[in-house]
Structures are given as structure tokens and as C-alpha cells.
A and B are shown apart, each in its own frame.
Chain A
């Protein structure tokens, strides 16, 4: 059933080279990977910083792009300029529903996202119309979490729409500290910094949706099928990075700190990596839950009914949900 679905997906995408060719090809060609400036992409950042891919596949020209917007990743992938993109749960589901055709290649980790608010906001009911809450994009997982919270606590998923302000994580953090916004739902390490700056956690994503992936790597099936060997090497390196993050967080933290060129201290990186809100895993989580919620409030027209529909063979057997 699911295999035939993949086959259909491959058939529908334009210019899908025969899979026979990919098995015989050596490890040559090029690979463009796009990430965003965020600790949620740590596994990929470690591979980049340590040059693991180049060492494993000297014949493959690997390009790492750091882009500032999820929509740039999406546009790049649709236009074929980015081979491996990465992003949150919600944009992935939205693109899938729109027929982009991308599939999950690997999760980059689970993260419990926290809505941090100023002390005067003690409950959802105490949020006034003049209070501003920052999320990174209108289609971000953070925006979906806000809708779920609004549905749960205010009985209307759109009740807090007027309070949402679209800000990138660093800007949101600055704005929260300076008091121009009263709440922020962004990502580590900013959510921890915001708590340190006097905020408190009003709600977190796990309490609304259960444990879920924060960011995952996506690949077009056509690219995957024509570059299976390269993809397998990449997946192995992601697993290797995950092991480092889980087993040697100090080592991982110094790599991450070096990757960020000193703007993130080793101790701060260690704290973020070892935070109780985070879990480093390649297994996707929460896609079905988020999908059915997004469908129930009319954001998307179709949602996946099984993980097989949305994952690539690398993830078969990892028991995602």
C-alpha cells in the first residue's frame, strides 16, 4: 500500500531518473543542504563543521546553505536548487497537502517548545488584545501550537490570531527583553534566555500535542531515488551526529559553539543540548497528531494517515508517528 504510494509520488514528479542508474553510479555529483540559524539543526551543523560528508564522499561536492526563512527552503526545494531541506512539522505538512511531494528523510530531534510570557500574563484568559506574542512565521509549528492552545483554553483556535506578531527568533528575544512584546514562542536557546530574562512558561507543546519532532530533513523522492547511495551516507552521518549529541554532549557543544563562531558559548550550547526539553533522535514524531489538528481547523485539506505516506526508506522501521 505505502510502497505503491511512493511509486505514485515518484511517477508524478517530473524528471525522475531510473533507480537502476543510481545503484550503479559511484559517489559523484553534488549535494545542496539548507539549514536555518537555530540549534534545532545541530545534527546537520555538526556534520558541516566537522566535514564528515566530504570525508565520507570525496567525490561529491557538498554545499551548505544557511537561509533565514522557511519559505526560502521550500521555494528552493520546489525549484530544485536545494536537495536536502530542513524545517518544522507544520510547513512540511502544509507543503505535502499542497502537493509539493517532499518526504521525511530524517528527524533532527524532538523539542518541547515553550510559550514564555511576561509575569503579568498568568493564564490565557489574562492575555489582552494589546499583548503581542511572537512566532516565527504564520505557518510555523509555533503558530500551530498557539492555535491549539487557543482552542484548548479559549475554545477558539483563532482567538489569539490578532495577538500574533511575526518575528525571527533573535528579534523576538530582543523584543521580549525590551518589553515591546509580552510573549514569545520560539525555540532554544531563546526560550531559556527569555525565562532567564524574567518570563515564565505558560504552556508547552508536549502538553498540547505530546512529544514531537521540532525540525526534520526533507528530500524529494526523485532526488532520493537517483542519489540513494549519497542519501544513505548522509543518513549514516546524521545518526553519527545524534550519537555524539546524546553520548558526548560536551564534545558536541564545543563543535556547535565553533560552528556559531563564538556567538554561542560552549556552556550555553551544552545547556541547550542537554536540556530536558530536547531529545536527539532520527525518528519523526507527532506528524499525524499535528496533521489531523491542522486539518480539523481547516489549515490543510488532507493530512497523512500513516507515517509511511510521508517518510523515505531511511526511516522505515524507526516507528515514527
Chain B
């Protein structure tokens, strides 16, 4: 009790003193303390991010190769980095991975766009009406924990064996985590900011568009990240369950087929493709965050 009081008091004092206005920790390390190794001109943390990442990547590949050299796993079960890289290059050259990636990304992006839009609509519904809130709370509680892939059979009955069924399943996988994060973003908007906005005469749609959405952006971004992961898992799992042969299957189908044909390096090439897309999207989202919430001081870099 007395402890928490002391903390509160400290907080208040520092808040009053703080002309910069940022919320900072009231405790700060003494200035003489330095992070270890910061004296060395070649310390790890001083290297450019890209270099650091590349080194980590190289170490991972080295471990992979070491595992291959020491354990000699059966080539019908496991592939080394060299064979995987060759299969990766060949797969992109002959267009198989490219077309599989395009197929998967098309389905994924359409499904995610619909899911994000639905998540937004649900959140707005929950924000403007109590009935909407009850509906969204119930649906989220029921559907969010459900692995989206579990409703694929249902989707096939409703939409047939086509991309629409997959899009539906992905949209379902994306909409609920999005709604949860967006609602959190909306409900945690600073009350003073909300009052200021109301005072300016902002109502309903303008309030949502110009205040709640940007103010909730940090949460929305983490919602997008979660959704992206959910979406990926769902699309790959869905493609493993049903894919269309004849060159129009997606990455999951490509991996599955390669496994059936015991083309292990191709399986790894597909996995590498997924990993690279994951890294690329992560970078895009980070870039977006740097240009928005970080630049606006709403989130640390």
C-alpha cells in the first residue's frame, strides 16, 4: 500500500516536472552506466541492422549445414542448404514457385482485405451500439479460438471447391483477432483526447475516421501482424487439405505435392519462400510503423 503510494507520488512529481511532456520512467539509470561493449568501435549493437540480420542468418545456415555434415540425415527426409538453395533457384526460374506464390498471395490478400474490413465494421458496430457490442463480443469469444481451418468443410459446402471457400476461411481467421485488437485500440484511446475531439464537434463517422482509427493505430498494427500470421497459417493449411493440380495450386499445395513426390529440396524451397515473404512483410509493416506511430511518438521504434 505504502509502496504503491510512493510510486504514484513519484510519478506525479516527475509528470509535473517533465516539460517535455513525454511519459518517461521516473527512474533513470545514472549517466555513467553504459551498455556493455559500447566502448568497442566494432560492437554488435553499432552494426547496421541489415548487417546484424545477415550475420544471424548466416549463423543459422551454418548450423543447418553443420547438422547435415554431422548427422547425415536421409536425403528423402531432410535437405541441406545447398540442395534447398538450388531447388529454390530452379523453382523460381521455371516459374513453379512464382505461380504458386502468386496463387497463394492472391487468395491470402483478398481474404485478409475482406477480414480486415469485416474486423473494422464489427469494431465500429461494437463502438456505436450496445447490440453491436454484444454481437461482436459473443462472435469473437466463439470464433476466435476456433482454428479457422476447422470451418473449411463448412466453407466448401457453402462456396464449393474453389478459392472463395479459402477466402472465406482466411477472412474468418483474420476478422476476429482484428476486431479484438481494434476494439482494444478504440477503448484505450486517451479520454482527454476524446473529450477534445468531442469539444471540436466531431461525431460518429468523423470521430471514428479521424480520431479513433489513428489513435488506435498501434493496436490496429499489432492486429494486422497477428492477422497476417493467422492468415498465412490458414491459407497454407487450407492448401494442404485441398489444392488444385495443373499448375494453379498455391505454395501449400506446392509443398505438399513436392513431399508426395519425395522432392525434399523443393519442400524446403517452398518453406524458404514462405519465410522470405514473412520477412518482407514484416519489414513493410515496420516501415509503415516507423512512418506513422513511431514518427507520431505513439510507439517506440
Query: Is chain B in direct contact with chain A in the complex (CB below 8 A)?
Result: yes
Please indicate the chain A residues that have their CB under 8 angstroms from the CB of B230 in the complex.
none
A180–B156 Cα distance when bound, in Å, is 8
Please indicate the chain A residues that have their CB under 8 angstroms from the CB of B262 in the complex.
74, 94-95, 98, 100
Please indicate the chain A residues that have their CB under 8 angstroms from the CB of B253 in the complex.
166
Of A157-165, A226-234, A236-244, A302-310, the one with at least 4 CB within 8 A of chain B: A157-165
Query: Of residues 165 to 191 in A, which have CB atoms within 8 Å of B's CB atoms?
Result: 165-167, 171, 174-175, 178, 180-181
Flag if B74 contacts A139 (CB, 8 Å): no
Query: Of residues 70 to 112 in A, which have CB atoms within 8 Å of B's CB atoms?
Result: 70-71, 74-75, 78-79, 91, 94-95, 98-100
Verify if B153 is at the interface (C-beta below 8 Å from A): yes
Flag if A164 contacts B245 (CB, 8 Å): yes
Flag if B260 contacts A71 (CB, 8 Å): yes
Question: Given contacts A78-B76, A98-B76, A162-B246, are A71 and B161 in contact (CB under 8 A)?
Answer: no
Please indicate the chain A residues that have their CB under 8 angstroms from the CB of B74 in the complex.
78-79
Verify if A132 is at the interface (C-beta below 8 Å from B): yes
Flag if A162 contacts B245 (CB, 8 Å): yes
How many A residues touch the partner, as a band?
20 to 34
A79–B77 Cα distance when bound, in Å, is 7
Flag if B77 contacts A166 (CB, 8 Å): no
Please indicate the chain A residues that have their CB under 8 angstroms from the CB of B247 in the complex.
161-162
Which A residue sits closest to B159, measured CB to CB? A180
How far apart are A80's CB and chain B's nearest CB, in angstroms?
Answer: 9
Flag if B246 contacts A163 (CB, 8 Å): yes
Which A residue sits closest to B76, measured CB to CB? A78
Please indicate the chain B residues that have their CB under 8 angstroms from the CB of A181 in the complex.
161
Verify if B160 is at the interface (C-beta below 8 Å from A): yes
Question: Given contacts A94-B262, A180-B160, are A78 and B77 in contact (CB under 8 A)?
Answer: yes
Query: Of residues 235 to 282 in B, which have CB atoms within 8 Å of A's CB atoms?
Result: 242-248, 253, 256-257, 259-262
A91–B262 Cα distance when bound, in Å, is 10
A272–B254 Cα distance when bound, in Å, is 35
Verify if A249 is at the interface (C-beta below 8 Å from B): no
Which B residue sits closest to A161, measured CB to CB? B246
Verify if A27 is at the interface (C-beta below 8 Å from B): no
A75–B75 Cα distance when bound, in Å, is 11
Flag if B76 contacts A94 (CB, 8 Å): no
A56–B247 Cα distance when bound, in Å, is 50
Interface flags, B65-88, vs A, CB<8A=1, else 0: 000000000101100000000000
Verify if B157 is at the interface (C-beta below 8 Å from A): yes
A291–B261 Cα distance when bound, in Å, is 15
What are 10 residue pairs bridging A and B, where the CB atoms are less than 8 Å apart in the complex?
A78-B74, A137-B260, A162-B247, A164-B246, A165-B242, A166-B243, A171-B242, A180-B157, A180-B161, A181-B161
- Top 4 A-B pairs ranked by shortest CB distance? A162-B246, A161-B246, A164-B245, A139-B260
A79-B74, A171-B156, A180-B156 known; 17 other A-B pairs, CB under 8 Å? A70-B260, A75-B77, A95-B262, A98-B262, A100-B262, A132-B244, A138-B245, A139-B261, A143-B245, A162-B244, A165-B161, A165-B242, A165-B243, A165-B245, A166-B253, A166-B256, A174-B153
